[in-house]
Amino acid sequence: MRNQQKNDEDMIMRHELNSNNAATPVVTKKWGRMSGNNIAEYINLGGFSGLKNALKLNPEDVIKQIEVSGLRGKGGAGYPAGLKWSSCAGQTGEKYIVSNFSNCDDTNMIVNTMIHNDVYAAIEGMMIAGYAIDANLGIIFLRNTQTVEYYIISAALEQMRFSKILGKEILKSDFQFDIQVVMGKNNAEKGQEIIILRSLAGLSPVTVCNRPHAAEAGLYGKSTLYHSMETLASVPAILEEAYLETKLVQLVDTENETILITEVAIGSSIGDILVREGITTEGIKAFSFGGSMGALFPPERLGMLIDFDEINHAGGAFGNAVIRILREKECLVDNVMHCYAVSSAECCGRCVFGRMGTAQIYETLKDITKSVANRMILIV
The residues binding other proteins (CB under 8 A) are 185-188, 202-206, 208-210, 344-353, 355-357, 359-360, 363-364, 367, 376-377, 380
Distance, C-alpha 103 to centroid of its chain = 7
Shortest distance in whole angstroms from residue 200 CB to other proteins: 14
Shortest distance in whole angstroms from residue 368 CB to other proteins: 12
Amino acid 100 reads: N
Shortest distance in whole angstroms from residue 98 CB to other proteins: 20
Rounded distance between C-alpha atoms, residue 265 and residue 27, angstroms:
11
Shortest distance in whole angstroms from residue 71 CB to other proteins: 32
Could you tell me whether strands 295-297 and 223-228 are parallel, antiparallel, or unpaired per DSSP bridges?
Answer: unpaired
* Nearer Cβ to other proteins (276/366): 366
List the one residue out of 133, 120, 168, 136 whose CA is nearest residue 54: 133
* Nearer Cβ to other proteins (335/364): 364
Shortest distance in whole angstroms from residue 380 CB to other proteins: 7
Rounded distance between C-alpha atoms, residue 291 and residue 108, angstroms:
8
* Nearer Cβ to other proteins (32/349): 349
* Nearer Cβ to other proteins (93/202): 202
* Nearer Cβ to other proteins (45/208): 208
Shortest distance in whole angstroms from residue 189 CB to other proteins: 9
Shortest distance in whole angstroms from residue 99 CB to other proteins: 22
Residues 119 and 158: beta-carbon distance below 8 Å:
no
* Nearer Cβ to other proteins (155/208): 208
Rounded distance between C-alpha atoms, residue 305 and residue 75, angstroms:
17
* Nearer Cβ to other proteins (260/339): 339
Residue 170: CB atoms within 10 Å: 23
Q: Alpha helix (H) ranges present in the chain?
A: 8-14, 39-44, 49-56, 59-69, 81-89, 110-117, 120-133, 147-162, 193-200, 229-240, 270-276, 308-314, 332-346, 352, 358-369
Amino acid 265 reads: A
